[in-house]
Structure 1
C-alpha cells in the first residue's frame, strides 16, 4: 500500500455518473479511509490521507489538464510497484532536484502526483 506523509495540494473531480466507481477506486485501489462529510456539501465523498483530507466532488467531464493533487510518500518505489501491479496509468513528471516523483492517472482523468524528497 501507499504510506502517505503529507499533501502538497488537492483537487479531484469526477463525472456524477461515475461517482460510485470513484469511491471504489479511492478506497480499494488507492487505499484511502472514507470519512463523514457535511450534509450541505455537494455530492461526493471525503477521505482521510495522513493528516489531511481528500475531497472527491462531481463535475462534468473535462479534458485532462494540469490540475492535480500531490502527496509526499515514505517509499516512492513501493508506491509505484503497488499501482503498477493494479494496472494504473502513469504520467512521468519532469525532474525537480531534491525529489523523486511520478504521477498516476485515475480512471476519471485526474492526475495524482506522488513524491519523495531526497537528500
Structure 2
C-alpha cells in the first residue's frame, strides 16, 4: 500500500475567500482551481499545489491553528520570503533544522504556516 498527500485543508472564517485569493493567489502565486459543484455552496476555495491541492474550508465558529500547521516545500525560499517582505507580511526565520532553510508566517486569519527548502539544490523539486 502506498500513501500520498492528495490535499490539505486549512480553516478560514466565513467570507474570507477574497483575503485568501489575495494571500494564496496574488502573494504566494498559487493557481485557484474550481471546487466541484456539489461543494461550492459550503464556501471556501481550492488552489493547486505541485502534486496535490490546498483546500481552504469555512469553519464556524472559526479559530486559527496556532501550533498545528502545514509545511510547504518551495524551490526558491529566498524569492518567496522577498514576496512576503515586499507585501509587509511578517515572517520568522528558523534555523533549528540542519540542512533546511525555513520560515514561519501566518495567513490573513492567523493560521500558522511553514515554508521550507532543502539546502541541497539537487533535492529541490
After TM superposition, the score normalised by the length of structure 1 is 0.80
Query: Which moves more between the two structures, 20-29 or 52-61?
Result: 20-29
| Deviation per residue, 1:35-76 (Å, 9 max, x gap) | 111122232111112221100111132144212221111121
What is the deviation of 1:90? 1.6
* Stretches of structure 2 lacking an aligned partner (at least 5 in a row): 121-125
Query: What residue in structure 2 maps to residue 79 of structure 1?
Result: 80
Aligned equivalents of 2:52, 2:8: Cα separation in 1: 10
Ranked by relative contact order (alpha carbons within 8 Å, sequence separation 6 or more), the top structure is: 1
Structure 1 runs of 4+ aligned residues shifted over 4 Å read none
Q: RMSD of aligned C-alpha atoms?
A: 2.1
Describe how 1:1-119 pairs up with structure 2 within 5 A.
10-41=8-39, 42-59=42-59, 60-93=61-94, 95-119=96-120
CA distance in 1, matches of 2:38, 2:68: 25
CA contact (8 A) 2:64 2:109 kept: no
Q: Secondary structure at the match of 1:46?
A: strand
5+ residue gaps, structure 1, are 1-6
- The alignment of Structure 1 onto Structure 2 pairs a total of residues equal to 112
Q: Between Structure 1 and Structure 2, whose CA radius of gyration is higher?
A: 2
Q: Which has the higher strand share?
A: 1
Deviates more, 1:17-26 or 1:98-107: 17-26
The separation in 1 between residues aligned to 2:87 and 2:73, in whole angstroms, is: 20
Quote how far apart the aligned CAs of 1:100 are. 1.2
Q: CA deviation at 1:94?
A: 5.7
